[in-house]
Structure formats: structure tokens, C-alpha cells
Amino acid sequence: MHKDESSEFYIGYQPQGPAGIMRYVRLRLILLAATVISVAILLVYGQRPFADSFFDFGNLQDFEGYVIERPVPLLMVEKIGAPGSLPVRRDYVLVAEGKHGAESIINGFNGKKVRLRGTLIRRDGIEMIEIAGGSVQAIGSKSRSLSKEGGAVGKYILTGEIVDSKCYLGVMNPGQSKPHRECASLCIRGGIPPLFVVRDAAGRKLHLWLLSADGLPVNMDVLDFVAEPVEISGAVEKIDGKLYFLIDPVSISRLKM
């Protein structure tokens, strides 16, 4: 207790508070300042490490390549490699701005060569382009399709987390787990391709694009299961180096936390 409490009386609208009380308060304010600084530092260091993802926000780039509408919207970009070698190919998953898929933007361009402007997104070796509105233009008459190289891998029961690929790959960081559930649900509802992130026996991450057994989008069927541990059974296919998980959404079950 303050020793001058019995003799001093504080009135806020007076220009100056009593000396003893104000000295007491100043000491407490120093303690409060130390607490504020300590809490800020503890909370900075206490946060879970952030994923090494990349969203090149504000830097629009031009891309040229072939549009593939299914199973997941892609831009196949081929660049001339070293003399005597095959062209180097890079695939970019396509999404629209905001929480929207690219389907309506690339509708009618399937297989065609286009030029578009967009923002690069990247994580774990997967690259994505957020297409700038109205920037897709057909160039040339050549067309391409996926090679289906590889095909069926096998049937599996896998455990992991369904994420919206756009946020997970870098637009938000963190873009997964409980605090991100509502956002992931809204993104997937808007057409962003859902990605199933699993870890294999060695602890390595695998990324599988979720599709129905017919290879069609399952977005609306997985909304209730995003951003939490789930188990899903289905068939894994590998097409042009990408893994696809063809599932019956009924097979999705929550894991107890």
C-alpha cells in the first residue's frame, strides 16, 4: 500500500497530482512498460515459425504458355533450354484475384497458347499465378494437352489436411490450420482448387490435388472438412509430375484431435 495514502488525495482535474501518489504511480508505470515490452517480445518469439512461401504482391509479370482447364487450371510454360536439350517446362496453377478460381477467366482457352499478366505465388516447389483481371489473350493457333504421363499410382487411405491452395502456397502465411479455416472454406467455395497436404512415413510433405472419382472438382463437397486433420481414401494418379487424389467425398472422416 502507498505510504501517503492517508494524507494525500488525488483529483484528476487539478493540474498536478499529489507528489507521493504520482511517484507511486510512476514506479508502477515503469513496471507496466517493462511488462508491455516483455509481452511483445515473448509473443514475437512464441509464434510458430512461418512457412517458406512466396507471394510477389504488387509485382505483375507477363507469362506465355498453354492453358489447361482440367483437372486443375494450369498454364504450361515452355522455355528453350540449353542447345541440344529439350525445352524446359514449368507448370503454373492458375487462380483469379481474391478468393476466386480461374475457371471463368480461362473458359474457352483450353489447349490454346495465351499471354497473361499475373502475380507469382510459390511454396514447396509448386508455383501458381494469380491472373490479373482481363489480361488473358490468345496468341497463335497451336494447342497442347496434358500427356497423362505416369497415370494410376494406386489406392490409398491418407491422412492430412485439406487446404485452399492459393493461401497455402503463399498468399497468406500461415494459410492452414484452425485460424485459417473460414478463409480456406470461402476460397474453396469460390473455386480455388483444394489441395491435400500429407506427410509420408519419412515425414516428407506430399501435395495432392483433390478431385472426384471422375476427375471433376470436389470443392463444395469438402467445405466441412478443411483445415483440420482428416482421413480420406481414394485413388492416386500422377499426371505430368503432379499428384491427384481421386476421392469419393463420403470417405472423408475427421481424425480425433
Partner 1 sequence: MSHSYRAIGWNRQKRNYDLLVLSFIFVYLGIFIGLGAFIHPNATIETMLIRGLGTCALLMLHVILVIGPLCRLSSAFLPLLYNRRHLGVAMFFMALAHGGLSLFQFHGLGVLNPLVSLFISNLRYDSLSGFPFQPLGFLALLILFLMAATSHDFWLANLTAPVWKRLHMLVYVAYGLIMAHVALGVLQAETNPVLAVLVVIGVVMVMGLHLIAGARERPLDVEIATAGKEELIDVCSVNEIPEGRAHIATIYGERVAVFKHEGRVFALSNVCRHQNGPLGEGRIIDGCITCPWHGYQYLPETGMSPPPFTESVPVFNVEVRNGRVLVGGVRVESKK
β-strand pairing of 137-143 with 112-123: antiparallel
- Least spacing, CB of residue 7 vs partner 1, in Å: 10
Binding-site member from 30, 79, 90, 97 for partner 1 (CB under 8 A): 97
Binding-site member from 110, 181, 197, 248 for partner 1 (CB under 8 A): 181
Nearer to partner 1, 142 or 178 (CB): 178
The single-letter code of the amino acid at 235 is: A
- Least spacing, CB of residue 24 vs partner 1, in Å: 5
Tell which residue, 249, 246, 224, has the closest CA to residue 236.
246
Residue 134 touching partner 1 (CB under 8 A): no
Binding-site member from 67, 185, 196, 244 for partner 1 (CB under 8 A): 185
Residue 156 touching partner 1 (CB under 8 A): no
Residue 182 touching partner 1 (CB under 8 A): yes
Tell which residue, 211, 139, 127, 227, has the closest CA to residue 177.
227
Binding-site member from 77, 132, 172, 243 for partner 1 (CB under 8 A): 172
For residue 187, CA distances in Å to 34, 81, 91, 102, 103 come to 41, 36, 21, 12, 13
Nearer to partner 1, 100 or 113 (CB): 100
For residue 60, CA distances in Å to 45, 118, 159, 224 come to 33, 5, 36, 34
Cell of 180: 485459417
Residue 59 touching partner 1 (CB under 8 A): no
Residue 257 touching partner 1 (CB under 8 A): yes
- Least spacing, CB of residue 208 vs partner 1, in Å: 23
* DSSP E strand stretches across the chain: 54-55, 61-68, 74-79, 88-95, 112-123, 126-131, 137-143, 150-164, 194-199, 205-212, 229-239, 242-247, 253-254
Residue 25 touching partner 1 (CB under 8 A): yes
Residue 166 touching partner 1 (CB under 8 A): no
Nearer to partner 1, 177 or 212 (CB): 177
Q: Residue 155 burial (CB < 10 Å; 0-12/13-18/19+)?
A: exposed
Residue 157 touching partner 1 (CB under 8 A): no
Number of residues located near partner 1, criterion CB under 8 A:
62
Where does this chain bind partner 1 (CB under 8 A)? 1-2, 4-5, 9-17, 20-22, 24-25, 28-29, 32-33, 36-37, 39-53, 55, 97-100, 172-174, 177-183, 185-187, 189-190, 224, 228, 257
